[in-house]
Amino acid sequence: MQRILIVEDEKEMANGLKDILEFEGYEVVTAENGKEGLQAISRKEPDCIILDLMLPDLSGYEVCEQIRRKLTTPILMLTARSQDHDKIRGFKVGADDYLTKPFSVGELLARVMALLRRHTKYSPEADLVRVGSSIVDVQHFTVRRGRREHSMSHYEAELFKLLYSHANQPVTRDEILDRVWGTDKFPTNRTVDNFIVKLRKKIEDDYRNPKHILTIYGVGYKLSP
């Protein structure tokens, strides 16, 4: 069951959202202010966070910033009509989407479902990860596509895991070098590019026309499962 955290001080709004989401089969946790929200995030590990911008202690921006220092959990920010011009700031601090109050139940559910769908949380316990038509077994370092099975090297698997843990978000070449190769080795950006090609050959249907391991020009790479 997917768990959703609602951070909202207005009781009526919070309870209304909770009822709607529970009715749809989600598990719902609520928090009345920013600090409680941050605590609930580390204790309950929600799959999606609905965060009101106006909170009694920290602002929604501050909460969002603090979450983004550690986690990629999708955040749907709620704003009032008068705060519409602040949406850009919301995106800058890491919100994934926003909804302006008042909103319809249908719109809320559609946004939440889209966020949950887009965000695939990598967990090291998950053995099999589906990317397009490939199934990656991160425990046994293999990729299966149709009847073919490829094995992955240690660095290929580590690179895949890093990209997958940031699914749908760009990861810079520097971060890849740092996290996959570490500081004691001296690979170059070219090394990263070569390993990306190796992964694409195993995972993509057509590695020259990748659909899942995407180049973000001037930045790095992004995995879109």
Segment contacting Ca ion by CB under 5 A, of 2-10, 63-71, 108-116, 148-156? 2-10
Q: Which is nearer to Ca ion, 10 or 27 (CB)?
A: 10
Exactly one of 35, 36, 44, 54 binds Ca ion (CB under 5 A); which one? 54
Cβ(115)–Cβ(102) under 8 Å? Answer: no
For 27, list phi and psi in degrees, rounded to 5. -90, 135
Q: Which is nearer to Ca ion, 54 or 197 (CB)?
A: 54
52 contacts Ca ion (rule: CB under 5 A): yes
Q: x/- string (CB under 5 A) for Ca ion, residues 8-47?
A: -xx-------------------------------------
Q: Which is nearer to Ca ion, 50 or 136 (CB)?
A: 50
For 154, list phi and psi in degrees, rounded to 5. -55, -50
- How far lies 102's CA from each of 30, 107, 164, in Å? 19, 10, 35
Going across the sheet that includes 75-80, the strands are: 27-31, 3-7, 48-52, 75-80, 97-101
Segment contacting Ca ion by CB under 5 A, of 4-12, 28-36, 95-103, 123-131? 4-12
**Scanning residues 162 to 181, which ones bind Ca ion (CB under 5 A)?**
none
Report how many residues bind Ca ion under the rule CB under 5 A.
4
Helices (H), 69-218: 87-92, 105-118, 154-165, 173-176, 189-203
Residue 156's closest CA among 213, 71, 72, 218?
213
86 contacts Ca ion (rule: CB under 5 A): no
Q: Which is nearer to Ca ion, 30 or 120 (CB)?
A: 30
> From CA 30, how far away is CA 193, in angstroms rounded?
44
Which residues would be at the binding site for Ca ion (CB under 5 A)?
9-10, 52, 54
